[in-house]
Structure 1
Amino acid sequence: MTHNWFASLPNFITIGRLVLTPAAIILIVERQWTAAFLLFAVAGLSDALDGWLARTYHLQSELGAILDPIADKALIVSMYVTLAIVDALPAWLAIMVVFRDVMITGAVSLSWLMGRPMKVHPHFSSKATTAAQLVFAGVILAAQAYGVHIPLLNVTLIVAVAALTVASACVYLWLWVQHMRL
């Protein structure tokens, strides 16, 4: 039986993003900003590419539905924590990003433990939050790599990331409470 490698391509790309994440973190810790930015850019673009391939060519899979958000969370949470540790972005923002993801993961896990499994479908607020978080991390890395600091852009992105993170957390908390009331 031959396996159609193309059908698995989105999953391979997602796994690649998981593999790139620790490499990008090491580069940040070592202050190799240009390499970290380029690796992060590849990882961020891979998120768009695997989703586009899966949707365009109907290659969605159960594995991909699980792996993709894990890869997204691993990349974003790792980047925000590491960038906060090296004082490249505000620690409070990293805490907010991590807390949101822990809250969502904890709520879904709790619903499963209570015998009330909850299917989580990406909400628009979550997609917007992920996009803003990725853009801001990219801007921070680019600023470090190329020495281009635009304070107004940073403040705008900090506000956008914080607002979207809170809004998205509230949406998922509301959906979880509604699910658990049934």
Structure 2
Amino acid sequence: MTPLSLVGARMPSHTIAALSDASNGLRRFSRLPRIGKALCPVYSRASSSWSRNDVAQQRRLSLALRHYQPCSIRPASLFSTSTTRRLKLENGESGSETRTEQNSTASTPSKLASTLKSTLKLDKPRHEQIYNIPNLLTFSRLVATPVVGYLIIHNQHLYAFSLFAYAAISDLLDGWIARRWNLQTVVGSVVDPMADKFLMTTLVTCLAVNGSLPMPLFVLILGRDVSLAASAIYYRYASLPAPKTMARYWDFSLPSAEVHPTNISKFNTFLQLSLLGTLLCTNLLHDPSATSSAAGGILTSIQELLGGEGGVQTMIQGISAIVASTTIYSGLEYTWSKKAVVILGGDEALKRKQGFRGRMIMASGFGSFIALAVYLWYNGRTEEDVKKAVEKK
């Protein structure tokens, strides 16, 4: 007989069952691999002697367990169900962390697979269909602009006016077609305003060279555009985030400043185009091929309604004075308005400093052109007075 059976002869049956359970648990615990960390104390019914006041004894054991620090070992899959129940950790967060790590470990392969799939997926680059009617009209206007300038300088006013009329009509038509049939493209949004500005600059320069546009007004119109371009170059460089390289400077996908044209500037552009169109029409009266055409009679009748050649010159001088006033006012508005150019970024002190410098560049540049225009106008008036004095004599 074993010692356990001998003890069992003197003990009740339920005590023997408790001892057998404890011995089985210890035997299973001995099969576990040894770990360098200290194990939590395991208490079972076999660790205390049997007595009738077992309730008070279990209370003392629970009080004693409070003095032990939480165990750092984590239940592994080798533990049986009964042993795992006995080795429950006092800190409930450690068990939740273990489950979280196991879940993250289990989901790691799926995350890696999805990441690799998204990384290796090669999306086809989207190409815009730029060969459409609005873009063709815009490019044709861009090509026709130098031809218009050449014809104006060589006094071919009928052909120059015809190409100018085509450019004006195509400017209205390409925008309407693009909006009507949803044919807007990035290339069109860039080339269209560039073609308009190129046409304006070419007409102003060639009409000034031809003598149709007064030189002081030419200086004002061209000086405003040049001053705006110089200040825009500074705004772009100053507000561009570091590193300031040429590649990043011309990369317009990195916005650094926003330009908001003023209402007077838009109205001034309309008046300038009206003046240029009027000058081209008056030049037709001095072109024999235009006066001898079918539209020659209409032009002559319009000139007579305006008071003859003197009336036409008075009308042009009035429009030129209005254009000069709006050009000066619109240019100077960019020097004091802080809303015309908005610099992006979070440093308000730096933005105020950059905005002040940009406005000063605009003021100094445009102020110089205004002074030059006043000088040319004064000399022109002086020469006219001299000619009149000579004619009277």
Q: TM-score, normalised by structure 2?
A: 0.42
Contact preservation (8 Å) 2:258, 2:342: no
In the other structure, the counterpart of 1:111 is 235
Q: What is the rounded CA distance, in whole Å, between the counterparts of 1:56 and 1:120 in structure 2? A: 27
Q: Are 2:283 and 1:159 equivalent residues in the alignment?
A: no
Distance 1:9 1:32, change over 3 A: same
Q: Report the CA distance between 1:142 and its aligned residue.
A: 0.8
Give identity over the alignment, percent.
33
Listed one character per residue, the Cα deviations across residues 98-125 of structure 1 (whole Å, up to 9, x for unaligned) are 1111112222221111134323344433
Q: What is the rounded CA distance, in whole Å, between the counterparts of 1:103 and 1:59 in structure 2? A: 34
Q: What is the rounded CA distance, in whole Å, between the counterparts of 1:82 and 1:43 in structure 2? A: 16
Q: Are 2:188 and 1:64 equivalent residues in the alignment?
A: yes
Contact preservation (8 Å) 1:77, 1:94: no
329, 332, 351: which one aligns with 1:170: 332
22, 32, 35: which one aligns with 2:159: 35
SS class of match (2:212): coil
Residue pairs, 1:13-92, within 5 angstroms: 13-92=137-216
Q: What is the rounded CA distance, in whole Å, between the counterparts of 1:130 and 1:98 in structure 2? A: 12
254, 258, 263: which one aligns with 1:124: 263
One-letter amino acid of the counterpart of residue 114, structure 1: A
Contact preservation (8 Å) 2:137, 2:170: yes
Q: What is the rounded CA distance, in whole Å, between the counterparts of 1:69 and 1:130 in structure 2? A: 12
One-letter amino acid of the counterpart of residue 220, structure 2: M
Q: What is the rounded CA distance, in whole Å, between the counterparts of 1:143 and 1:89 in structure 2? A: 12
With 31-40 and 155-164 compared, the bigger mean Cα shift is at 155-164
Distance 1:109 1:65, change over 3 A: farther
Q: What is the rounded CA distance, in whole Å, between the counterparts of 1:176 and 1:39 in structure 2? A: 34
With 128-137 and 114-123 compared, the bigger mean Cα shift is at 114-123
Distance 1:26 1:119, change over 3 A: same
Q: TM-score, normalised by structure 1?
A: 0.83
Distance 1:156 1:25, change over 3 A: same
One-letter amino acid of the counterpart of residue 96, structure 1: L
Distance 1:11 1:105, change over 3 A: farther
Q: Report the CA distance between 1:169 and its aligned residue.
A: 1.8
In the other structure, the counterpart of 1:11 is 135
Distance 1:12 1:106, change over 3 A: farther
Q: Report the CA distance between 1:163 and its aligned residue.
A: 1.9
Distance 1:155 1:19, change over 3 A: same
SS class of match (1:114): helix
Q: Report the CA distance between 1:126 and its aligned residue.
A: 2.9
Point out where structure 2 has 5 or more consecutive residues left out of the alignment. 1-125, 241-255, 287-302, 304-308, 344-350, 356-393
In the other structure, the counterpart of 1:142 is 281
Distance 1:66 1:107, change over 3 A: farther
Distance 1:109 1:61, change over 3 A: farther
One-letter amino acid of the counterpart of residue 210, structure 2: V
User: Aligned Cα RMSD in Å?
Assistant: 2.7
Q: Report the CA distance between 1:32 and its aligned residue.
A: 0.3
SS class of match (2:158): helix
Q: What is the rounded CA distance, in whole Å, between the counterparts of 2:235 and 2:133 in structure 1? A: 32
Larger RCO: 1 or 2 (CA < 8 Å, sep 6+): 1
One-letter amino acid of the counterpart of residue 76, structure 1: M
Contact preservation (8 Å) 2:128, 2:185: no
Distance 1:59 1:101, change over 3 A: farther
Listed one character per residue, the Cα deviations across residues 110-147 of structure 1 (whole Å, up to 9, x for unaligned) are 11111343233444333322221111111111101134
* Richer in helix (by share): 1
Distance 1:62 1:104, change over 3 A: farther
